[in-house]
Amino acid sequence: MKVQVLFLGLHGNCRSQMAEGFARCWAEPKIEVISAGIDPHPLDQQAVAVMNELGINIADRPCRSLANMDLNSIDLVVAMTAEAARPCSVLPSAPAVIRWDIPSPLRKGQTGSLEDYRWVRDQISNRIADLFVGGYLGTIISLKRNSESVLDHFHEGIIVHDIHRNIIWFNRAAEKITGYDRHEVIGRDCHEVFPGGFCGGQCSFADETPPNFDKASYSFTFTDKNDHDKHIEMMMVTMRDEQGLFQGVLASFRDVTEVTHLRHKLKTVQSFHGIIGSDSKMQTIYDLIRDLASSDCSVLILGESGTGKELVAGAIHGESRRVGRPFVTVNCGALPEGILESELFGHVRGAFTGAIRDKKGRFELADSGTIFLDEIAEISPNMQVKLLRVLQEGVFERVGGENSIRVNVRLISASNKDLRKLVQTGQFREDLFYRLCVMPINLPPLRDRRNDIPLLVNHFISRFSKDINRPIRSISPEAMSHMLDYDWPGNIRELQNAIQYAFVKCKSQTIDIEHLPPEIVSYRPKHPTAAKPRQKKLDIDQVQEALRKTNGNKSKAAQMLGVGRATLHRFLRAKNPPGEGT
């Protein structure tokens, strides 16, 4: 295997040319020796003269410039000064670098004497002998190639970019994961090799300015060369030299597609893009969201108020190839028709009173990304026509404008109403419905996935305890029993509000029954939570005696009676309904 060694000088490159002359005398045929300067000057005749004294001719060697050389093809750079070493990259596949710091024969810009040149020549000669005869060159090259071999045998894919985002290293695992051969990608801009960029919209090195991070990690969906979608987890680090100057980016990544599917099959997914839930109905929805990753079809999310429709829309965007691009939300039910049209499509200056400048609409702002239209059932028939045109043709005009604007937007909509019934009654256009509902997602109400209630309760307790710095850590079994029995007409939003209410009322570390909202405490379930242990039958005399002995402490009284606190509270409310006194 051929080895290339570069001797690199700074300005007057006589030292690097003398080093090249000595090295050519020592080098074996498989070693190619060259010299260059960062800012090369014409050949120094004093250097030529002192080398001729030893029978070595350097006058026939060109004065090369580093700017015209590909450092990635070099195995070893010998920098004759510290300044000369600075342009050398510290990235994998870049050459190994050693620094000699040999003084210049020139004295403060003046011509040096022959004795000065001879002294520098002899210093270089001694070091060249050590490099070639002492075995140092072989050791340095072996270390470099061994380190590259280690990277090549990692299970994680490794991609290394230089300061211009060109790929200079691409290991075997990267080939396997992406389907691209390293010869197809080395030396090319990452964004040119992979359609849409390897990282999609999340690229941290989207332009040639140095990234403003030391480390970054994220996950995304990648379509490999064979058109297979893969879930990728990536870690990126910036590479810097001894002076802290940016040298490039190293990215390590792995394919977690199979792991993701296995976790789902094992029902270990308790949260997904901020959605909390391990119920089988939610696992099915997570699966559907993943299936939508490779598609740009319109999605209609149906579900009661408070079920988390916007979270699901965000998850669809987060799993898609448009992740990192804009995700724009509009609540159609909160805006009158005139304002909604301007919000969606923008307006031009003078289109109406108060339109003092041109304004982009949400569709323009969402270009290349996703727009989420919540409460889509509330839009007027006139707006339905205009929205249908955007979906069919991808064009619209700003309010008061004449120029058509074309956008590339994925549409996700949501409603808490049955759009099919609205179509049947003529309140919603059938053609628009079928444009919106290419893929429907029906979110179950919280009462249909009650086994997620403890998960959600603990999630909100943990979140609020951090947000408002309160020492609340848990909820009592009796209070949880009430939470499980309640019908939750407001779904997850109502549950979140209930925990916030409890945080205001609770002064201890555990939320109890008296800290819950009255409507939850007083609720009588039509179908009580299954599998509860049979409670001991109480009578009023026993209860009054227990309360007397415990000085009215209901917790201690319930313990004395052998029942739960919720049972005792229900018994007392039944015997003494609200409004009848105490």
At residue 517, the pLDDT reads 95
**Which residues are within 8 A (CB) of 199 and not within 5 positions of it... i.e. 6 or more apart?**
218, 220, 234, 324
Exposure of 468 by Cβ count < 10 A (0-12 exposed, 13-18 middle, 19+ buried)?
A: exposed
Check whether 521 has a pLDDT greater than 70.
yes
At residue 382, the pLDDT reads 92
Paired tokens of 517 = 């909202």
Q: Which CATH number fits domain 3-145: 3.40.109.10, 3.30.930.10, 3.40.50.2300, 1.20.1260.10?
A: 3.40.50.2300
Check whether 203 has a pLDDT greater than 80.
no
Matching residue, tokens 């009661």: 304
Top CATH class, 155-255: alpha beta
Q: Which residues of 275-294 are buried (b: 16+ CB within 10 A; e: fewer)?
A: bbbbbeebbebbebbbebbe
Kindly state the average pLDDT of the residues 449-478: 91
Check whether 63 has a pLDDT greater than 50.
yes
Beta strands 439-442; 299-302: pairing state = parallel
Check whether 491 has a pLDDT greater than 90.
yes
Kindly state the average pLDDT of the residues 546-566: 78
The chain-wide mean pLDDT, for the chain, equals 84
At residue 185, the pLDDT reads 86
Check whether 580 has a pLDDT greater than 70.
no
| Torsion-angle region of 306 (φ positive above 0: left; ψ -120 to 50: alpha; else: beta) | left
Tell me, what DSSP letter sits at residue 350? T
Q: Which CATH number fits domain 286-442: 3.30.2320.50, 3.90.1150.10, 3.40.50.300, 3.40.50.720?
A: 3.40.50.300
**Higher model confidence: residue 200 or residue 409?**
409
Least confident window among 1-15, 280-294, 490-504, 566-580: 566-580
Q: 387-425: per-residue pLDDT in tens?
A: 999 999 999 999 988 899 999 999 999 999 999 999 999
Check whether 327 has a pLDDT greater than 90.
yes
How would residue 212 be classed by pLDDT, with cut points 50, 70 and 90? Answer: low
**Higher model confidence: residue 44 or residue 85?**
44
Kindly state the average pLDDT of the residues 65-72: 76
Distance, in Å, from the CA atom of 72 to the CA atom of 52, rounded to the nearest integer, reads 33
Least confident window among 123-127, 152-156, 287-291, 486-490: 152-156
At residue 45, the pLDDT reads 87
HEC letters along 435-481 = HHCCEEEECCCHHHCHHHHHHHHHHHHHHHHHHCCCCCCEECHHHHH
CA atoms lying within 13 Å on the CB side of residue 522: 7
Least confident window among 117-126, 286-295, 367-376: 286-295
Q: Which fold has domain 447-521?
A: Helicase, Ruva Protein; domain 3 (1.10.8)
Check whether 133 has a pLDDT greater than 70.
yes
Check whether 486 has a pLDDT greater than 90.
yes
Bridge partner residues of 97 (DSSP) = 77
Task: Calculate what percentage of the chain has a pLDDT beyond 70.
Answer: 88
How would residue 532 be classed by pLDDT, with cut points 50, 70 and 90? Answer: very low
Kindly state the average pLDDT of the residues 413-439: 95
Check whether 299 has a pLDDT greater than 90.
yes
Kindly state the average pLDDT of the residues 170-176: 89
HEC letters along 406-442 = ECCCEEEEEECCCHHHHHHCCCCCHHHHHHHCCEEEE
Matching residue, tokens 């609205």: 422
Q: 232-277: per-residue pLDDT in tens?
A: 888 888 877 767 777 788 888 999 887 766 665 655 567 888 899 8
Least confident window among 53-57, 318-322, 544-548, 571-575: 571-575
At residue 330, the pLDDT reads 95
**Higher model confidence: residue 493 or residue 283?**
493
At residue 582, the pLDDT reads 41
Least confident window among 270-279, 420-429, 571-580: 571-580
Kindly state the average pLDDT of the residues 443-454: 93
Tell me, what DSSP letter sits at residue 494? H
